[in-house]
Amino acid sequence: MQYVSFKAADGTETWGVSIDGTVHDLGPSGKNLAATTRDAIEKGIFGTQLDLSGAPTIAEADIDFLPSVTNPGKIICIGVNYLAHQEESGKTGQTAPTVFTRFADSQMGHLAPAVKPTTTTKFDYEGEMALVISKEAFHVEKEDAWDHIAGYACYNDFSVRDWQKAASQWIPGKNFPGTGGFGPYLVPAADLGDITTAVLETRVNGEVRQQAPVANLVFDIPTLINYVTGFTKLNPGDVIVTGTPGGVGLFYGPDGLINHGDVVEVEITGLGILRNTVADEASLLAGAQATAGASA
């Protein structure tokens, strides 16, 4: 089952399931089974056999995608968690996961612009897989970790490298608005089988830049959940972004970084394709001002 978060025609933020290109609205503008995907997870109805009868429908091609989870309490990101990326960045020999945080309001959905800030010349992509927590998780043992996962989704941790590298803490370079691509779908863990057999691929304008099986994570999923819940409590709907393979733009070559008009896709087996097109912040502001002037 493919769960989506989206805006209804009247602007209401809602959620539902997409089946064969048709989205069944189960949120506030539809059947109202729960307010958000996060609420559906908290209620225990995410990933279950839902009654879709009477739910309004809309073609998936016509929806305005939102991040798969629009209101997570916490987004925990893991850095340099594939060996090839450790090697290209000179960060081998990690003895514990590298952790940083991303704010929920920095995220955007499938097909939304990836916003290149006016204050950077070093905008980059990082294709990743995200997992979403299903129930309260604190001091979770590795053998119990899989029972705490609601589902998985594609993620693009777009990075503002000059801000990221300005100091030892990465948070500034990871939290500009419109830089956390999340979606298009959140797929229940139970529907996927062994997620470690999935392959992650990132493409820029159709060119493959990153490709690796999830099995290549240096710190695997049980280790990440055990480590993160060792220092903070996670709740339903919280997100762990598991890390990016080698091949990021910063180390790819002279034309590796991304600019206005570049199309970046993250595809993971069973999770669909997350697509975002880079847009300069200045061009978006100019467009918004022109629209406001025309309607005045």
pLDDT in tens, 38-57: 999 999 999 999 999 999 99
**pLDDT > 70: percent of the chain:** 98
Look at the pTM and tell me if it is higher than 0.85.
Answer: yes
- Spatial contact of 36 and 15, defined as CB atoms under 8 Å apart: yes
Mean pLDDT score, 79-105: 94
Q: pLDDT tens digits, residue range 192-209?
A: 999 999 999 999 999 999
Of residues 129 and 284, the one with the higher pLDDT is 129
Of residues 139 and 285, the one with the higher pLDDT is 139
**pLDDT > 90: percent of the chain:** 91
Q: pLDDT tens digits, residue range 141-181?
A: 999 999 999 999 999 999 999 999 999 899 999 999 999 99
Q: Model confidence at 285, in pLDDT bands (50, 70, 90)?
A: confident
- Spatial contact of 108 and 178, defined as CB atoms under 8 Å apart: yes
Judged against a pLDDT cut of 90, whether residue 58 lies above it is answered with yes
Query: Which residue in 97, 107, 133, 94 sits closest to 231, CA to CA?
Result: 97
Q: Model confidence at 253, in pLDDT bands (50, 70, 90)?
A: confident
Q: Model confidence at 293, in pLDDT bands (50, 70, 90)?
A: low
Mean pLDDT score, 76-92: 94
The mean of the pLDDT values for the chain is: 96
Mean pLDDT score, 70-99: 95
Q: Model confidence at 292, in pLDDT bands (50, 70, 90)?
A: low
Q: Model confidence at 117, in pLDDT bands (50, 70, 90)?
A: very high
Kindly report whether the peptide bond that precedes residue 113 is cis, defined as omega within 30 degrees of 0: no
Q: Where are the alpha helices (DSSP H) in the chain?
A: 37-43, 83-89, 161-165, 221-228, 249-252, 281-295
- Spatial contact of 184 and 168, defined as CB atoms under 8 Å apart: no
pLDDT (0 to 100) of residue 82? 95
- Domains (range + CATH), the chain: 2-65 (no CATH), 75-284 (3.90.850.10)
pLDDT (0 to 100) of residue 287? 74
Residue 82 token pair: 């594939």
Mean pLDDT score, 246-275: 96
Q: 75 vs 23, 180, 228, 237, 264, CA distance in Å?
A: 26, 10, 11, 9, 22
